[in-house]
Chain A
Amino acid sequence: MIEVPEAPAPAPVPVPVAGLRTRGWLRSNPLLAFGGAVSALIVIVAVLAPLLAPDPGDAGSATHPFDVLKAPSAQHWFGTDQVGRDVLSRVIYGARISPLVALFVLLIACAIGIPLGIAAGYFGGWLDDVIMRVTDIVLAFPALLLALALAALLPPSMTSLTIAISATWWPWYVRLIRGQAASVAGRPYIESCRALGISRRRIIFRHILPNAITPLIVQVSLDVGGVILTASALSFLGLGAQDPTPDWGLMVSEGQTYFTTDWWVVTFPGLAILITAFAFNLLGDGLRDLLDPRRVILR
């Protein structure tokens, strides 16, 4: 029945290629570029710590009784701490501790949050009720208090710290993903998938997940800073990393005694926390602008 004549094709409009246009977005999104660059720098520092640190041994339990609490100098740029260790070396090695905790916490939170959120949002009904009420119960506890309680129950170590923070973090992701999944599941294009007889598994993985994941990616990158701050707070309270681990929070905690006289012991690890949290926040903000599917609207 079809005999398509050569219909006049409309004049070809230059097709904007969606996705990452490498040159364009760097300029249009300086925050993302800056946040991304600093975040990448932190990762590089963490990876290359043994090469960058002037005194790699000081990241551990070394003591130098004759170099205690020396002010910043050409030899020790960030000064030395209460047992004579080079603060710069410890700050550099610290890039392997807090950000790694953040990475694991966020991975665990996603691993719990995504499946539960999708299940609640897509299937709805009693499953939704059960998942969301459990989530609400966990959320009802103040996050820091819950993490404190858990960390106090577990033997103080980085693993316990990671578990304690993860336990308070996942409910947010369940809620986020659930809301997205539920709104996507009701859209006509998902209904047409069902009408076409596409399998449930395929609908979830190919259609729901990619549409629901964007806010999560943004939230995760925004949360890197938050987890680092929480981990630092717990370490500061003595519930996370233990000496001689070069954790930034722990260093701030141990240095506070000397803060009035020897400011550098607290200030540099504190700055490291600040910069890391800030960089990942910028990265998150930038990603949100970049990944918003409604970003390109008819031009």
Chain B
Amino acid sequence: MRLEITGLNVRFGARSVVDVDHLGVDDAEIVGLAGESGSGKSMTTLAVLGLANTVGATVAGSIKLEGRELIGLPEKVLIGLRGSRIAAIFQSPSMAFNPVFRVGDVALRALRRHGLTGSEATDRVDQAMRGVLLSPDLLRRYPSQLSGGQLQRVAIALAVALRAEVLLADEPTSALDVTVQAEVLELLRELRSRDGMSVLFISHDLAVIAELCDRVAVMQAGSIVEQGPTDQIMSAPQHPYTADLLRSVPAIERRA
């Protein structure tokens, strides 16, 4: 298991918001984490990034990256891991970039912060941009001059450039329109098969998860109620909540 979460508990004071017995992501695997708003999907992401304490939560349990326990690591070590070993992309790419800097400057600075020299960083970013099917020319633009889909791909390019093993994608396509969404999903699939990247794909959108993920975990009220291979979950849900979720996916059909 590349990323393995066991007995994870995230709580705000006395209130427990995440209680995950077991959730793992294998090498080159895309695991979907589904569930309604407030079910604890995003808190799980924050916990894996070691950032849950910054919003005032306490974290207990175990999160292992390639067998190395992350919980309890000092902040300094976590800073080194974030972005370089575990990368994350979020819902709204336009907010992820500082509008006063060219996206390329942001990318280069992030890479240098992780210990690359100037020319190394430039090469890597250019290469990563091609890796996410964007022209390196776009690095000279400001965030407002790129579309949401392009920005999201630049964000993914950063993860690629640092050769992150695990990408946490927290609703990465929810703010994008359907055609752009398809681009990003295609890219994630490509990164998985080409680079062996593992992805924890968090979404409330079961249709997207069904299309992309190898396995699915369904979360409700902080706990995983059901997990298994995507086909199995989609065709024969065991838990009533999963069945409810599936029923709530609108299907394309003509009205009578």
Contacts and interface: CB of A to CB of B under 8 A. Distances in A.
B60 interface: no
A195 B98 CA distance: 15
A197 B54 CA distance: 13
Contacts of B49: 195
B147 A188 contact: no
B51 to A, nearest CB: 6
A245 to B, nearest CB: 42
Contact of B135 (A1, A9, A211, A295): A9
Q: Looking at chain A, what size class is its interface with the partner chain?
A: 20 to 34
Contacts of B51: 195
Interface string B168-192: 0000000000000000000000000
B103 to A, nearest CB: 11
Contacts of B1: none
B121 interface: no
Contact of A188 (B54, B95, B136): B95
A4 B124 CA distance: 10
B113 interface: yes
Interface of A: 1-10, 12-13, 15-16, 18, 187-190, 192, 194-198, 207, 210-211, 293-298
Interface string B48-66: 0101001000000000000
A55 B62 CA distance: 85
Contacts of B54: 194
Interface of B: 49, 51, 54, 75-76, 79, 82-83, 90, 92, 95-100, 110, 113, 127-128, 130-131, 133-138, 140-142, 144-147, 160, 163, 165, 194-197
Contacts of B130: 4, 6-7, 9
B75 A197 contact: yes
Contact of B144 (A3, A6, A195, A297): A297
B163 A188 contact: no
Contacts of B160: 2
A72 B147 CA distance: 62
Contacts of A10: 133-135
